[in-house]
Every structure is written in C-alpha cells, then in structure tokens.
Amino acid sequence: MELTVNLQKKLRHFTLDVNLTIKDEILALLGASGCGKSMTLKCIAGIERPDSGRIVLNGRTLYDSSKGINLPPQERHVGYLFQQYALFPNMTVADNIRFVAVGTKAEKEQAVLENLHRFHLDELADAWPRELSGGQQQRAAFARMLASRPQLLLLDEPFSALDSYLKWQLELELSELLKSFGGAALLVSHDRGEAFRLAERIAVMQNGDIEVIAPRHELFAAPQTRAATLLTGCKNISAARRIDEHHLEATDWHLTLTSAAPVPADLRYVGIRAHYLEARDASGENTFPMEARQVIEDTFSMLIMTAASSEAAAIRWETGKDIWHSLEGHPLYLRFPPDQLILLTR
C-alpha cells in the first residue's frame, strides 16, 4: 500500500504545500490547530480540491492537476474518520454499516455482522447514533469505515471529541485496530503523545508546510526546527549564537553553554526539555546559579520558572516534589546536560 501526495492549495493565511509518501505504515501529521493538517486529509479524500499537484494511491491517480484528473470521493476508496464521527442520524448502527457495505446481499450481511462483532457493537446494532456515547460512536464510525473496504485510512483528530479518560481507552483500542487493519493510515493530531504512541513516523506541519518528517524516536531526540521542537513538547527555546566548536551563547537566557554535539555555524536556537535540567549544589560545567521566579505545584511534579538574572528570559524546570523540597532554603544551581541540548538552525 503506497500513497504519494504532492499538493498545493491557497488558503486564507498561507499556502498549503505538502509532499509526502506513506508505505504500509502509520504516519502522524502533527501540528497546531489551523496549520493545514485537516485540509491535507480532505484533499486526499477528495472532499476539498487542491489548486495543483498529484495524489497517487497504489498506482491509481486520484488527482492530477496537469492531466485534469480529479476523482470524486466515491471512487477514491479512502476511509475518512471525522472528528465528530458523522454517523447517519436516520439509521441504526447496523444500518449505518449495511448502507456502505459492498457486494451481494449475503456479503453485506456478513460485513455487518463481522464489523459489529469486531468492534464490540453486537448489543448496539439497533441503537440510533444519538443514543451512543462518544466512544461508541467512534467505534461505530470505524466499523462503518472498514465495511466500505478502504485502501487507506485518514483519521482526523480521532480523540478530540472525547474526555480524557475515554481518550486513553479508545487510544488503546484504536492502536489495536490500526495494527489489525495492516494498511497505511494517516493520522492528524495536535497531541505529541498521541502521535508518538500511535504512529511510526511523524510529519511536523507549520503554516501549511511539512517542516520535518522523521521516525518518531528521531524526531523527539532531534526535532530539527523550532516549530518541531515546540510541538514535541520542549518548553525552553532561546535564540542562540555559535561561539566555537562546542560553545554557544543562549542570548535570551543570558547563558554561555557547552554542547556535546558540534555547534553548527548557522545556529539560531537552542532548546532543552524541562525535565532534563538537573539540580546541583554549586557552579560547574554548564551549571549556573539560578533564581526561582515562580513555583507551581503540578499533580505529580513541581514546575519552577527560573532565570539566570532578572533581565533573562525564564526557563521552565520540572522536577520531582521530593527533590524540590530537599532544596528548599539552599541556593539553586541548575545543570544543562551538554548531551541534551537541542541545536537548531531553523
């Protein structure tokens, strides 16, 4: 199963410009809301029309502006799971599935029974969509989508309509379903954890551009761009300037840091994740006296906003409650582990 996408579409605030290939894998499109993720899915499904480009699924051209090809959604065989699930309100769960199933009458009944069973919907077969909980609606929508035998799955923020407890339950289920589907899937999300847990590769989108596509571990270890760094959950980013091979100046933080990795000449930003900072008793290599500006108690940790001086930008530090309490009354020194600095050139 292979999908190649090349599309351009002018939107109100920016131009969508997407280039990607998926092959038998789950790819997550990670980006802030309004960055063009959903529009990309809609163009692939044929709900929206790009201005130009080419979309090919398993050798079938779905869209090609140069050849004037634009298949209607009905002929694309692309499953789309909508944020609000979009079940047909005038049909029961079983009828929703029966209505889209393909084949002879017997095959359709078979598809209904199979999918009801597979999604634990047997007891809800005769229920109306309005009677279902969010999670049940999602399962019904998923069952219906698979009954139409799609060659590719598009999942648009599949958990956004659910509360956090249900979210986790469904994420577990969805991850199983995606594995059993076996084909390619494109998942749109603004939640880095969700993207990391469900997808093998992650594409970071910003203002209509795909900034980075990388295997998930690689992306979180070395996010490459400022937007990708923020989206992967790094809270601390400072403008930066190279001093020499292993030294740099973090200009927002008013700190001179040592990096284990060689510093690129065109360095622009440096980042460090809040939980990688380490408390120390005294100054040392990459260890500086810091002032705590604000202390916030979180559920299971402490969040401390610290800075090197009163003019410097704040740095967020996350640490265990026990560590923080053991430090009380002592001057604070923080170490920036040289191998944990994220060096960014764009």
Which C-beta is closer to other proteins: that of 90 or that of 299? Answer: 90
Which C-beta is closer to other proteins: that of 74 or that of 164? Answer: 74
Size of interface with other proteins, in residues (CB under 8 A): 27
Binding track, positions 261-300, relative to other proteins; x by CB under 8 A: ----------------------------------------
Point out which span in 69-77, 180-188, 304-312, 326-334 binds other proteins (CB under 8 A). Answer: 69-77
Pair of tokens at residue 271: 């980042």
DSSP state of 244: E
Which C-beta is closer to other proteins: that of 88 or that of 168? Answer: 88
Nearest approach in angstroms of CB 129 to other proteins is 10
Nearest approach in angstroms of CB 185 to other proteins is 14
Alpha helices, H only, the chain: 37-45, 93-100, 105-118, 134-147, 164-181, 192-198, 216-221, 226-231, 321-327
Q: Is there binding between residue 130 and other proteins (CB under 8 A)?
A: yes
Q: Is there binding between residue 144 and other proteins (CB under 8 A)?
A: yes
How far apart are the two ends of the chain, measured CA to CA in Å? 33
Q: Which of 29, 30, 32, 34 is nearest to 13 (CA)?
A: 34
Whole-angstrom distance, CA of residue 150 vs CA of residue 107: 16
Pair of tokens at residue 193: 């954890």
Which C-beta is closer to other proteins: that of 137 or that of 224? Answer: 137
* The binder of other proteins chosen from 57, 62, 78, 304 (CB under 8 A): 78
* The binder of other proteins chosen from 84, 110, 294, 326 (CB under 8 A): 84
Binding track, positions 186-225, relative to other proteins; x by CB under 8 A: ----------------------------------------
Q: Strand pairing of 287-297 and 302-307?
A: antiparallel
Q: Is there binding between residue 76 and other proteins (CB under 8 A)?
A: yes
Q: Is there binding between residue 333 and other proteins (CB under 8 A)?
A: no
Q: Is there binding between residue 100 and other proteins (CB under 8 A)?
A: yes
Q: Is there binding between residue 172 and other proteins (CB under 8 A)?
A: no
Q: Strand pairing of 2-10 and 184-189?
A: unpaired
Cβ partners under 8 Å of residue 175, min gap 6: 197, 198
Torsion of CA 227, 229, 233, 236, to 10 degrees: -100
Which C-beta is closer to other proteins: that of 151 or that of 251? Answer: 151
Q: Cα-flanking dihedrals φ and ψ of residue 202, to 5°?
A: -130, 130
Which C-beta is closer to other proteins: that of 72 or that of 329? Answer: 72
Nearest approach in angstroms of CB 108 to other proteins is 13
* The binder of other proteins chosen from 20, 47, 71, 125 (CB under 8 A): 47
Largest CA distance in the chain: 77
Q: Is there binding between residue 58 and other proteins (CB under 8 A)?
A: no
Q: Is there binding between residue 37 and other proteins (CB under 8 A)?
A: no
Q: Is there binding between residue 107 and other proteins (CB under 8 A)?
A: no
Point out which span in 26-34, 77-85, 184-192, 324-332 binds other proteins (CB under 8 A). Answer: 77-85
Integer-rounded Cα radius of gyration of the chain: 24
Burial 36-46 (b: 16+ CB within 10 A, else e): bbbbbbbbbbb
Nearest approach in angstroms of CB 78 to other proteins is 6
Which C-beta is closer to other proteins: that of 40 or that of 319? Answer: 40
Count of CB atoms situated within 10 Å of the CB of 237? 20
Q: Which of 206, 244, 245, 248 is nearest to 228 (CA)?
A: 206
Count of CB atoms situated within 10 Å of the CB of 289? 14
Residues that bind other proteins (CB under 8 A): 42, 45-47, 72-80, 82, 84, 86-90, 99-100, 102, 130, 144-145, 148
